[in-house]
Amino acid sequence: MQASFSHSFLSKIFLLLILSCFVATIEASKKQVSAMYVFGDSTVDPGNNNFIDSAFRSNFPPYGRDFVNQVPTGRFTNGKLGTDFIASYLGLKDLLPPYLDPNLSDKEIVTGVSFASAGSGFDPLTPTLGNVISIPKQLEHFKEYKKRLEGMLGERKTEHHMNSAFFFISAGTNDYVINYFSVPIRRNYTPLTYGQFLLQHVKDFIQNLWKEGARKIALVGLPPMGCLPIVITLNSHNVIFERGCVDKYSAVARHYNMMLQHELFLMQLNFSNVPLGAKISYIDIYEPLNNMIQSHENFGFDEVDHGCCGSGYIETTFMCNGFSFVCSDPSKFVFWDSIHPTEKAYFRLFMVARPNIDALINA
């Protein structure tokens, strides 16, 4: 009996040692990430639009209601974005700042910034509709940033810094919701040909990032667009009592995501054009967000078809403001306004994406 007890005790110690080594390995790999750079739209814009002449802003209450000191930073939610959780998880910083913030110190920018702009997209027409920062312009800002970094670190260290950084891209929803589905000129495209048109811009952008030294790139797919409260409102006969997801819009997202994954696979497969050590990871948000909506009770959500701010049916940007009604508990809502998730929903999306992030940075 004593021998059996000793064997059991030693087995537990051995398992604990293995677990400790595994955790130490993961922690060490995360420390190898030098910085995080983000490009895209309002899902990852921490406040760049505060510094441009655009109506697509959220630097006023009730945005930021659950942020540190209830500060409305320009994030389109009640608290943190998913990219803030990722930056913290990677051990870089608690909050990823906007590149255009003139008060950023040299020390702050070294570990990463977001170049994203609310209202932007891959279609060149999309950012012009809201006078926001286009994806190519975000790339130009990144090149400016890189020059500043070279002045601090030197060219060789900057090159290593870029090779070790984590790049994150989230865009495409605006291309459909405020452009393709709304602007008559884009009806010259079918959903298939418009998706192909967007994907060409996606591929061009990734190749440009490779040229600038990016080696670990994560690209987010489209959400179930037919479940966004504003899409439900604009496509329901009775906006109060008929608020189910509109599948024809979500079907477009599903098809685009399939095409995107295929194109990323082909890009990675074409070794002649892929820089040594370059990896691309697709981040699925469609299924995780759809699960939160369809099985909301399992995740602690009560409200899934309207946002916390105002009526929650159409309010976003300046329509969600200090005079709007705000729900008492945003954690019960999947959406903060009629388009953007709550901090809780962003955190859950981050948790689902974490294995993909680990695989990418450890590749």
The band of 29, judged by pLDDT with boundaries at 50, 70 and 90, is very low
Q: Does residue 133 contact residue 328 with C-beta atoms inside 8 Å? A: no
Residue-level pLDDT at 242:
74
Using the Cα atoms of residue 248, residue 253, residue 254 and residue 256 in order, give the sign of their dihedral: positive
The band of 356, judged by pLDDT with boundaries at 50, 70 and 90, is very high
46 three-state secondary structure: coil
Q: Nearest 5°: phi and psi at 73?
A: -90, -15
Residue-level pLDDT at 107:
87
* Average per-residue pLDDT for the chain: 91
Residue-level pLDDT at 243:
86
Whether 6 has a pLDDT exceeding 60, the answer reads no
The share of the chain scoring above pLDDT 90, in percent, equals: 84
Whether 25 has a pLDDT exceeding 60, the answer reads no
Residue-level pLDDT at 102:
96
Q: Nearest 5°: phi and psi at 40?
A: 145, -140
Using the Cα atoms of residue 70, residue 173, residue 137 and residue 164 in order, give the sign of their dihedral: positive
Peptide bond between residue 330 and the one before it cis (omega within 30 degrees of 0): no
**pLDDT, tens digit (0-9, with 9 covering 90-100), for 80-117:** 999 999 999 999 999 999 999 999 999 899 999 999 99
Ordered by where they begin, the domains of the chain are 33-361 (3.40.50.1110)
> 171 to each of 133, 158, 231, 256, 328, how far by Cα in Å?
12, 27, 17, 12, 30
Closest CA to 346 of 330, 355, 334: 334
The band of 187, judged by pLDDT with boundaries at 50, 70 and 90, is confident
219 three-state secondary structure: strand
Which residues carry out catalysis?
42, 337, 340
**pLDDT, tens digit (0-9, with 9 covering 90-100), for 30-80:** 558 999 999 999 999 999 999 999 999 999 999 999 999 999 999 999 999
Residue-level pLDDT at 254:
98
Residue-level pLDDT at 239:
64
**pLDDT, tens digit (0-9, with 9 covering 90-100), for 225-253:** 999 999 999 998 766 667 899 999 999 99
Whether 131 has a pLDDT exceeding 50, the answer reads yes
Give long-range contacts, CB 8 A cutoff, 24+ apart: 179-187.
179/121, 179/123, 179/125, 179/126, 179/129, 180/123, 181/249, 183/125, 183/129, 185/125, 186/123, 186/125
Residue-level pLDDT at 126:
97
Residue-level pLDDT at 19:
43
Residue-level pLDDT at 241:
65
Whether 137 has a pLDDT exceeding 70, the answer reads yes
Mean pLDDT of 145-166: 96
Whether 26 has a pLDDT exceeding 60, the answer reads no
Mean pLDDT of 342-356: 98
Whether 119 has a pLDDT exceeding 80, the answer reads yes
Residue-level pLDDT at 273:
83
Residue-level pLDDT at 30:
52
The band of 159, judged by pLDDT with boundaries at 50, 70 and 90, is very high
